[in-house]
Amino acid sequence: MEEFIRETLSFFSRNEELIYFIVLSVFVGVEVIGGVPTVLHTPLMSGANAIHGVVIVGAIYVMLNVSPDDTIALILGFLAVLLGTLNVVGGFVVTDRMLEMFKKKK
């Protein structure tokens, strides 16, 4: 138990900057969305949806580290990259289509 607590605490102190970073990002997220008109809620949700596709970066990173003999990891990694790409590409394209319609009329 003591080991566990020590490990947890040291993790937090080693990552102090990261934790500040997280707290500040939360506020940026709230600020950025504040006061958006209702009409833009759907495209905004869709755009945000595309942005969390950034998780693909993690998937690619895992994949680059996979040992070539580890078939299960290769399959899982391939799937992860594929799904992440769907999220990113589909998300941005569908958002663009929605917003295209707003642009036609001023």
Partner 1 sequence: MKSHLLEICYLIGSITFIIGLKMMGNAKTARKGNLIGAAGMTIAILGTIFLFNKTVVVDGVQQPYKVPYMIYGLIFGAILLGTIIGWMTAKKVQMTKMPELVSMFNGMGGACAALIGLMEYGHNVGHVGPLIAIVAGLVIGSVSFSGSIIAFLKLNGTMNKPIRLPAYNVLNTLVMVAVLGVSGWFVYASGDAGNSSMIETGADGRAHASSFAMIMLYVIFAAALVYGIMFTVPIGGADMPVVISLLNSFTGLAAAFGGFLYDNKVMLTGGILVGSAGTLLTLVMCKAMNRPLSNVIFGAFGGGGATAAGSDVKGSIKDIQVSDLAVLMNYSKKVVIVPGYGLAVAQAQHVIHELEMLLEERGVEVKYAIHPVAGRMPGHMNVLLAESNVAYEKLVEMDEINPELEQTDVVLVVGANDVVNPAAKTDPSSPIYGMPILEVDKAKNIIINKRSMSAGYAGIDNLLFYDPKASMFFGDAKKALTELVAELKTM
Q: Are residues 50 and 95 in contact, defined by beta-carbon separation less than 8 angstroms?
A: yes
Q: How far is the CB of 106 from partner 1 (least distance, A)?
A: 7
Tokens linked to 83: 């799904």
Q: What amino acid occupies position 56?
A: I
Q: How far is the CB of 17 from partner 1 (least distance, A)?
A: 10
Eight-class DSSP state of 66: S
Q: How far is the CB of 6 from partner 1 (least distance, A)?
A: 9
